[in-house]
Amino acid sequence: MTVAADAVTRFLDLRMLWGGGDVADRVHPMQWNGVAAVNDPNYSDHSRFVDLPLADLQSFICGKDVLIATHGFNNNRQDGIQALAEWRKLLTLPDSAAYLGLLWPGDSESLHALCYPAEPAHAMQAGAIAAAFVDAAFQSAASLSFVSHSLGARVILEAITAIKSPVRRAILMAGAIDDRCLTGEFAAIQQKAGQIAVLASKEDEILRWAFPLGDFVAEVLDRDHPWWESALGRFGPAERPDRYLPPCQIPSQWNYGHGDYLRTSPPAPSVIPPASGPAMPPPAVPLPLDGRCGWQQAWSASAVSRFFR
């Protein structure tokens, strides 16, 4: 199948199944072929998700500043493809950049959101396998950067910690991980990443209510976190790490929720924010401030584009 270059999104796939399942034992380079509008049923056409030869992937990233983006919890493969492919269209990256989506199994076909306590282990496993692949296959890249949403923070923090090469940027959106992780569990990232950025919202209801409970259950099952911790994606880091790139707090009046960062079909917003908040970077491109759907993910893409540069 031959399609225009801007209709192709390339992925590093760590899933064994389209829904649920375990982490694959190796990365499968794949690509999504086709132009699909938001909620286009073609995203359910599995034939468009095809193998990407390693040589083609290496040619794509050769000499480029690579940005690897990953989704969060409770996304099946189709959800991840759609969210990351649509969000890619909103980024304003320089010509020197190469964008890749990273898919991992942070979901369950039967348990749905109830599977959360077991998913941090999947995230860590996915990060370790991704790191080994990047070390082996990305030697020709000019630089590496990562951006994550929600529980995907664990994927990229584990990957960055394990990768032998330095990482240029680490950007964590709505991190479903404890707010001391950057100076505690993943303190090594301070020496591995050139700059660290966080996007957080106090109005994130998922991180306000569901994260403490889910993390408490995860602690009962696997003693790897402090009890009843706060989420990085609500207030930002409790202690600022070295090489931290402020600011991080999204203004409360924007009513920015957990699903807004990568949402592909949002309702019309009840509050239209200004193009930039008092503590946030200005947008890379003008935002739709006339009430149209989609300003949230347009803003997150704009902010990440600024951090990436």
SS3 assignment for the chain: CCCCHHHEEEEEEEECCCCCCCEEEEEEEEEEECCCCCCCHHHHCHHHEEECCHHHHHHHHCCCEEEEEECCCCCCHHHHHHHHHHHHCCCCCCCCEEEEEEECCCCCCCCHHHHHHHHHHHHHHHHHHHHHHHHHHCCCCCEEEEEEECCHHHHHHHHHHHCCCCEEEEEEECCCCECCCCCCCCCCHHHHEEEEEEEEECCCHHHHHHHHHHHHHHHHHCCCCCCCCCEHHHHCCCCCCCCECCCCEECHHHCCCHHHCCCCCCCCCCCCCCCCCCCCCCCCCCCCCCCCCCHHHHHHHHHHHHHHC
Which pair of structure tokens corresponds to residue 266? 């949002």
Which pair of structure tokens corresponds to residue 232? 């990085």
Predicted pLDDT of residue 153: 96
Q: Count the neighbouring beta carbons within 10 Å of the beta carbon of residue 252.
A: 11
> What domains lie within the chain, and their CATH numbers?
5-308 (3.40.50)
Can you tell me the distance from the alpha carbon of 52 to that of 60, in angstroms, rounded to the nearest whole number? 11
Can you tell me the distance from the alpha carbon of 91 to that of 99, in angstroms, rounded to the nearest whole number? 10
Does residue 64 contact residue 138 with C-beta atoms inside 8 Å? no
Rg value, the chain, Cα: 18
Spatial CA neighbour of 131 closest among 98, 155, 149: 155
Q: Count the neighbouring beta carbons within 10 Å of the beta carbon of residue 309.
A: 12
Instruction: Please return the burial class of 257, using the count of CB atoms within 10 Å of its CB with bins 0-12, 13-18 and 19+.
Output: middle
Spatial CA neighbour of 308 closest among 290, 289, 281, 273: 281
In tens digits, the chain (309 residues) has pLDDT values of: 334 345 689 999 999 999 988 999 999 999 998 754 445 557 888 888 999 999 999 999 999 999 999 999 889 999 999 999 989 988 889 999 999 999 999 885 544 444 455 668 899 999 999 999 999 999 999 999 999 999 999 999 999 999 998 999 999 999 999 999 999 999 999 999 999 999 999 999 888 876 654 443 444 334 444 445 689 999 999 999 999 988 888 888 788 899 989 876 644 444 445 444 444 555 555 554 444 567 788 888 888 998 998
Can you tell me the distance from the alpha carbon of 104 to that of 14, in angstroms, rounded to the nearest whole number? 5
Predicted pLDDT of residue 289: 46
